[in-house]
Amino acid sequence: MKILKGVLVVFGFVVLVSCFGFADKKDSKKGTATHEFVPRESTQVAYFASGCFWCVEAIFESLTGVEEAVSGYAGGETLNPTYKKIGTGKTGHAETVAVYYNPKKVSFETLVTVFFGSHDPTTVNGQDPDYGTQYRSIAFYKTAKEKKIIEEVINSLSKTVYKSKIATEVTAFTKFYKAEDYHQDFERKNPNQGYVKAVSVPRLNKFKKKFPGLLKSEKH
């Protein structure tokens, strides 16, 4: 009986601090390629996947020059993916964040640097405590120039920072599906949620400590 209780406690803790552990009947809603955020004509967008999108969205929204960050799904072939579907790890999609930014205030290269500097790119298919192909590391590119920038950053990090091979996929962008509404700004709207307190906030604070000069003066 004590062993069973111990297993249940551990299982409960894993669910509590798992991004996918937050379940809701709203999961049945389909994603959509339409964004509520209307970018300016000069606004550009970059796409990154590096674990739970609640964390990633909060990180990029704290950056000077970033106008909006939207959580969604990309990298797979399944049409209209949902949170529940991608949780199976069979859609090919990864939790991805669309980063809308002002190129006059922040460069694509800086965004790539932040992307690699805010997660462990050597981890295959996940970021602790979330594992599965839906949490894999991906840097998407839309142009040859963006691809070159990503590859140059990877080469530099491989020589100066990481001994292990960088597992980040460098992938041509095809389509982005916006995630269900309740995922948007999740970290900011749910400060007392278990996963947010245990994982999202510590990860965000670690990033802020590492890149203080890139942060917005106001709270994201």
Catalytic residues: 52
- Contact 140/74 with Cβ under 8 angstroms? yes
Instruction: Report the b/e string of 145-180 with b at 16+ CB within 10 A.
Output: ebbebbeebbeebeeeeeeeebebeebebeebbbbb
DSSP string across the chain = -HHHHHHHHHHHHHHHT-GGG---GGGGSPPBS--SS---TT-EEEEEEES-HHHHHHHHHTBTTEEEEEEEEESS--SS--HHHHTTT-S--EEEEEEEE-TTTS-HHHHHHHHHHTS-TTSTTEETTEESGGG-EEEEESSHHHHHHHHHHHHHHHHHT-SSPP--EEEE----EEPPGGGTTHHHH-TTSHHIIIIIHHHHHHHHHH-GGGB-SS--
